[in-house]
Amino acid sequence: MEHFLKKAKASASELLRIDGAKKKSVLLQIADDIEKNSNKILAANEKDMALAREMNLSSALIDRLFLDEKRVRSMAESVREIAMLKDPVGRVLDGWVLDNGLRIEKVSIPIGVIGIIYESRPNVTSDAAALCFKSGNVSILKGGKEAKNSNEAIAETIQAVLEKNDLPKELVSLLPDYSREGVEKLIKMDKYVDLIIPRGGEGLIRYVSENATVPVVKHDKGLCHTYIDKDADFDKAVAIAVNAKVQRPGVCNAMETLLVDYAIKDEILLKLYEAFKPHMTTLKGCALTKEVLPDIETASEEDFHTEYLENILSIKVVDGVEEAIEHIRKYGSGHSEAIVTENYTTAEKFMNEVDAACVYVNASTRFTDGGVFGFGAEVGISTNKLHARGPMGINDLTTYKYKIYGEGQIRQ
């Protein structure tokens, strides 16, 4: 493992020497070859699928694992999109001149070696490799064991293109060790690895965060709230609440808990009840909610801590924006939080005091997404507070250096 990582680290300098045109051309070739090798990739995937069926893996997992012509084409398309992004390296982030004439430039550069730990979707292999390559980073990819054959076929395709272009194949590699010990070693190799991005279940992410000595950017839980204030426009409020819950309940930016201002509870709760009815949403309410909607389920303390990722909604009546902020502080995951209000001061208070990657006024939390934000390609949604927070674009796969230009200055 150490030898493998050493080679990966050593290859990083190659990436500093190739220009944007070459990076683009290599990625377009990779996209083409993924399509050309479609049969090979699908054959490998068929092996994984057979094993998965044999092992009785869940149908959700099998669906994530499954590839067909169309999914392979969309993998290639996604690599093409990444190829066409603006080069994230070399952006001048800041610059100034000191009194002594030294000219300082703060410039974006690649991070170095990035380890990405993910689960069963094979398309993450090509996506992650392309994002890292475009941003000048070496990628060490650790996919799910159940997708081993698919990932190998995809990685071989990528490595063949690298070699055809006189680039070391170590720029994109699969971690050779698929075991838990493999991950354990990887996340402690801070000498060779500069960043770990775990994408997957809570258990994996907790394990990685607790044991890594390499810096980690997490993408985990989204327990998002929407607060309907007494000064809300009710039509907006209902539309936003329904959208935040039902438009795609299984994702991290979907709403899990709706907070309703006491002052308007009677009217708004009845409207919400009617609006959610056609969507078959399971509503669970606090005691005050149940006074208005007696036939819904009861929301327990545990419900307010739960990221359902399903068409279920907890509802709580709160005493104004202060209590809404308090509730979010206690139960929120710092992902996306929204207020619906027409009151300027209330909106500002919520926007300033809620600590989350994304805070919304009068809009659905479902907009928290790198693609929607215009970042072009989605690395994920970071729940870290440092380095990258919220929707993470390809620019977040860079760090910076200061370049200082002198004419012989020495320090007095």
Give the binding site for its own copies (CB under 8 A): 13, 16-17, 96, 98, 102, 104, 109, 111-112, 190, 194-195, 209-210, 213, 215, 233, 235-236, 239-240, 242-244, 247, 329, 351-353, 355-364, 366-368, 372-374, 384-387, 389-391, 399-411
Of the two residues 149 and 331, which places its CB atom closer to its own copies in the complex?
Answer: 331
Q: To the nearest whole angstrom, how small is the minimum distance from the Cβ of residue 341 to its own copies?
A: 11
- In degrees and rounded to multiples of 5, residue 31 shows phi and psi of -60, -45
Of the two residues 317 and 357, which places its CB atom closer to its own copies in the complex?
Answer: 357
* Distance of alpha carbon 367 from the chain centroid: 13
Q: To the nearest whole angstrom, how small is the minimum distance from the Cβ of residue 346 to its own copies?
A: 14
Of the two residues 111 and 286, which places its CB atom closer to its own copies in the complex?
Answer: 111
Element (DSSP H or E) covering residue 90: none
Cβ–Cβ < 8 Å for 325, 352: no
Of the two residues 113 and 154, which places its CB atom closer to its own copies in the complex?
Answer: 113
Q: To the nearest whole angstrom, how small is the minimum distance from the Cβ of residue 209 to its own copies?
A: 6
CA distance 3 to 243: 50
Of the two residues 278 and 294, which places its CB atom closer to its own copies in the complex?
Answer: 278
Q: To the nearest whole angstrom, how small is the minimum distance from the Cβ of residue 193 to its own copies?
A: 11
In order, the DSSP letters of 118-146 are --S-THHHHHHHHHHHHTT-EEEEE--GG
Q: To the nearest whole angstrom, how small is the minimum distance from the Cβ of residue 288 to its own copies?
A: 25
Q: To the nearest whole angstrom, how small is the minimum distance from the Cβ of residue 269 to its own copies?
A: 20
In order, the DSSP letters of 195-248 are EEEEBS-HHHHHHHHHH-SS-B--B----EEEEE-TT--HHHHHHHHHHHHHSS
C-alpha R_g of the chain: 24
Of the two residues 48 and 229, which places its CB atom closer to its own copies in the complex?
Answer: 229
Element (DSSP H or E) covering residue 45: helix 38-54
Torsion of CA 200, 201, 203, 209, to 10 degrees: 40
Q: To the nearest whole angstrom, how small is the minimum distance from the Cβ of residue 295 to its own copies?
A: 27
- In degrees and rounded to multiples of 5, residue 297 shows phi and psi of -70, 165
CA distance 187 to 190: 7
Q: To the nearest whole angstrom, how small is the minimum distance from the Cβ of residue 334 to its own copies?
A: 9
Of the two residues 262 and 402, which places its CB atom closer to its own copies in the complex?
Answer: 402
Q: To the nearest whole angstrom, how small is the minimum distance from the Cβ of residue 261 to its own copies?
A: 17
SS3 27: helix
Q: Which of 142, 244, 150, 235 is nearest to 196 (CA)?
A: 142
In order, the DSSP letters of 295-349 are TSEEPPHHHHT----SSEEEEEEESHHHHHHHHHHHH--SSEEEEE-S-HHHHHH
Of the two residues 166 and 235, which places its CB atom closer to its own copies in the complex?
Answer: 235
Q: To the nearest whole angstrom, how small is the minimum distance from the Cβ of residue 294 to its own copies?
A: 29
Q: Which residues, in sequence order, are CB contacts of 173 under 8 Å at separation 6+?
A: 4, 8, 139, 140, 141, 155, 159
Of the two residues 286 and 359, which places its CB atom closer to its own copies in the complex?
Answer: 359
Of the two residues 79 and 187, which places its CB atom closer to its own copies in the complex?
Answer: 187
